[in-house]
Amino acid sequence: MDSYDKEGGRAELAANPRSTAPDPSPPGAPAASRSAGAHPAPSPGADAGPGTDPGADADPAADADAVPAPRTGGIAGLSMPYQVVASVALAVVSVLACYHLAMVFLHVAPSNTLTKQHGKAVDEWVFPEFEQNWKLFAPNPLQQNIAVHARAEITTADGGRRTTGWIDLTADDGEAIRGNLLPSHVNQNELRRGWDFFVNSHTTDNRPNGLRGRLSERYIRRIAMLRLDAHDLGGRVERIQLRSSTRGIQAPVWSEERADTRTYYRTLPWWTVTAADLPAGVERGGDGGRTEAHQ
């Protein structure tokens, strides 16, 4: 061993080549500077020497605080069964969306070879839920309130017949919509679109102008029977009659336009109710207060 004297003390230097060398920093220098000067950080690619474990000097606490690798997002992050289910669902939704867009496009597009050959399939897909019209964006949009009323001729329990008063079916739908954060598509559009379907396929004297006219009659009768089923009519329905109530909307106070706000009625003839006018086609036997299709 080698030795040297420093301020009266005795120090020994070990023969180990990695032993600490004397601090060359001047007195009074910060400890961090002296430490950095005495022990320079090894370069990342420096050879630790033969037999040296690269992870021997690693700090276990640093490994514990290491940020884990992020997981793969999306479908790839799911297990294989869920990946298959998600892929199939995505494919089905994509196909349906493309099919729907194609059908709506053919419906609004001018007459062409495809619509001439497959017009029936397009109409069956579009009507009545997805029908397109320009009333909202037309130069003269709809400026009327139209309500559909119904009344029925019923057979009472004692065998007599009587006619009910007019029931505002549109008001019933409006009551179901008001205050409802998620109103039903049935309450919003079924009756309104059914009546538009009937009016557009009939003449002003209520005569059908084609096959669609007969279809619209059956459709509006079924809607009316479903609505009347919610009312206690006191007997079995034999016949029903519909009418529309049309009233113009009052012009705003700042406008000089004058609108006719009188109410006009369009009354349809009486229709005999059959089992075909209810989707179930079932006669509800004898409860008296429910709507029953007469067979």
Give the tens place of pLDDT for each residue, 99-138.
999 998 988 888 888 888 888 888 888 887 787 766 666 6
- The dihedral through the CA atoms of 68, 69, 75, 76 has a sign that is negative
Which whole-number Å values give the CA distances from 253 to 159, 223, 257, 269, in the listed order?
55, 38, 9, 39
Whether residue 194 contacts residue 219, with contact meaning beta carbons closer than 8 Å, is answered with yes
The pLDDT, as a whole number, for residue 282 is 42
Cα–Cα distance between 246 and 143 in angstroms, integer?
A: 10
Whether residue 288 contacts residue 235, with contact meaning beta carbons closer than 8 Å, is answered with yes
Binning pLDDT at 50, 70 and 90, where does residue 266 land?
very high
Listed range (28-32, 102-106, 169-173, 287-291) with the worst mean pLDDT? 287-291
Instruction: Give me the mean pLDDT over the 278-291 stretch.
Output: 48
Instruction: Give me the mean pLDDT over the 223-242 stretch.
Output: 92
The pLDDT, as a whole number, for residue 108 is 84
Structure token pair of residue 114? 């495809």
Condensed to tens digits (0 to 9), the pLDDT of residues 9-23 reads: 454 444 444 545 555
Q: What percent of the chain has pLDDT over 90?
A: 36
Closest CA to 194 of 212, 172, 218, 219: 219
Whether residue 278 contacts residue 285, with contact meaning beta carbons closer than 8 Å, is answered with no
H helical segments located in 71-210? 80-108, 113-126, 169-177, 185, 191-200
Q: 7-16, 26-35, 53-62, 260-269 — which one is most confidently predicted on average?
A: 260-269
The pLDDT, as a whole number, for residue 130 is 80
Closest CA to 122 of 261, 240, 198, 112: 112
Residue 191 pLDDT more than 80?
Answer: yes
Q: Which residue has the higher pLDDT, 47 or 97?
A: 97
Whether residue 222 contacts residue 291, with contact meaning beta carbons closer than 8 Å, is answered with no
Report the mean per-residue pLDDT for the chain.
77
Residue 265 pLDDT more than 80?
Answer: yes
The pLDDT, as a whole number, for residue 275 is 85
Whether residue 191 contacts residue 199, with contact meaning beta carbons closer than 8 Å, is answered with no
Residue 254 pLDDT more than 90?
Answer: no
Task: For residue 97, report the phi and psi dihedrals to the nearest 5 degrees.
Answer: -65, -45
Q: How many CB atoms lie within 10 A of CB 278?
A: 20
Q: Which residue has the higher pLDDT, 40 or 126?
A: 126
The pLDDT, as a whole number, for residue 73 is 66
Whether this prediction's pTM lies above 0.75 is answered by: no
Instruction: Give me the mean pLDDT over the 55-59 stretch.
Output: 52
